[in-house]
Amino acid sequence: MQNRDKLYINGQWVESTGKDFIDVVNASTEEVMGRIPAGTSEDVDAAVAAARSAFEGWEATPVEERAAALTRLHRGLTERGEEIAVTITGEVGMPLKLSRRVQAGLPSAVMESYARLLKDFSFEERVGNSLVVREPVGVVGCITPWNYPLNQVVAKVAPALAAGCTVVLKPSEVAPLTAFILAEIVDGAGLPPGVFNLVTGTGPVAGEALARHPEVDMISFTGSTRAGRRISELAAPTVKRLALELGGKSAAVILEDADLAAAVKGTVNSCFLNSGQTCSAHTRMLVPESRYEEAARLAVETASSFTPGDPGDERTRLGPLISEVQRERVRTYIRQGTAEGAALLLGGPEPPEGLEKGYYVRPTVFGRVAPGMTIAREEIFGPVLVILTYRDEDEAVRIANDTTYGLAGAVWSGDEERAMHVARRLRAGQIDINGGRFNLLAPFGGYKQSGYGREMGRFGLEEFLEVKAIQQ
């Protein structure tokens, strides 16, 4: 049981001005595993004031010292990696063997990448008779989701601190516990008071107070498109900068000359990672009509290997969903898919056998899905793959792009040049060709209602910088 009764503001652990607490529930046992303060708007005010007071000094801190601070944070994250992995497996339900690599390993690597990047990044350049300088945007409010709770925090906090900004973090109240671990690491790393502040609480209270705050210069938000619209409304009166990473309904376009077995396996693996609770998951599999039967058989075969179970068991490939609300949401989509005429090839809305406790959903595959069906258009955020067919390459591209989202996608082909041609036609922020590996230094973000702004690498750093031209 992790009881966290204080917030981290201005370099101190302080009690919230409110008296309420929020329970954190274990996704696989449905038991309370911790509790956190339900922060108030007054707590947000205090955190923003601390960040504002610390900004001038942190902005003036030499780049080398900021890089050294990030290196110390990386070291702390690495040292506490097992604790982080176990905690997130409890909160979110990702199998522990994956949590070690993804939920703990990735944020540590991201932190290190920004410490390294600072050594070569140029904050000023000459353009004719102008000196163009890049300066930190100011006080940044980071509002983060529950599916990759620490990585999404570090993907914002690391570049913000590297840029010279000060930060107020409001993590998801559903999976907030590793944010306290990060705050402890910050405290031990000797960052100046007020540079990093942590306020936990609900979105409608703490999150909205941060988004509308007149002394916050920028909001970096990751979450649903609906919540992103609300953040935009609240931020508009103060015209603060926004970076929004929102929903997705990403398509994997499998061309007729692709290695079908590899393409289907790669798509299913992407779709089911973290029980489908990944915004960039490839949840729509587009296959040539002539290869549908084979693709459907391979998809069922691969998906069947994702056995739901205890995330602490090394054999488990599919953990629970985050909450009862999310489980019922996914089950509703599965029922709707059947009602609209899609072919249920595997899974369904019934709970997996032998798993009475925990927010589990069966791995589910739908075939013969039409582009207009609800399950082909809306983000389900669960282990549900939909298979659509196309007649030619142009139709495949039209179907892939026929979405309000534009976060990610994939192309599979035996011809690299053809794959690149199709990838260029897809309207999304990140496209994988034949299972291309994730790149920490490449920009991540979306088109259309998947948001705007980019995270990771120098592109992520530049989000937190203003550009000034000084003429001479």
> Catalytic site residue 142?
no
Using one digit for the tens of pLDDT, what is the confidence trace for 221-232? 999 999 999 999
Using one digit for the tens of pLDDT, what is the confidence trace for 131-176? 999 999 999 999 999 999 999 999 999 999 999 999 999 999 999 9
- Name the 3-class secondary structure at 356: coil
Count other C-beta atoms under 10 Å from residue 123's C-beta. Answer: 15
Using one digit for the tens of pLDDT, what is the confidence trace for 14-63? 999 999 999 999 999 999 999 999 999 999 999 999 999 999 999 999 99
Extract the tokens encoding 34. Answer: 């911790």
The pLDDT of residue 1 is 84
Could you tell me whether strands 364-367 and 343-346 are parallel, antiparallel, or unpaired per DSSP bridges? Answer: antiparallel
Q: What structural domains and CATH numbers belong to the chain? A: 2-246+449-471 (3.40.605.10), 250-439 (3.40.309.10)
Has residue 236 got a pLDDT over 90? yes
pTM of full prediction above 0.85: yes
> What is the per-residue DSSP string for 243-299?
EEE----EEEEE-TTS-HHHHHHHHHHHHHGGGG--TT-EEEEEEEGGGHHHHHHHH
> Catalytic site residue 165?
no
* Average pLDDT taken over every residue of the chain: 97
Among the listed residues 279, 379, 455, 463, the single catalytic one is 279
Among the listed residues 112, 245, 455, 463, the single catalytic one is 245
Using one digit for the tens of pLDDT, what is the confidence trace for 275-322? 999 999 999 999 999 999 999 999 999 999 999 999 999 899 999 999
The pLDDT of residue 36 is 98
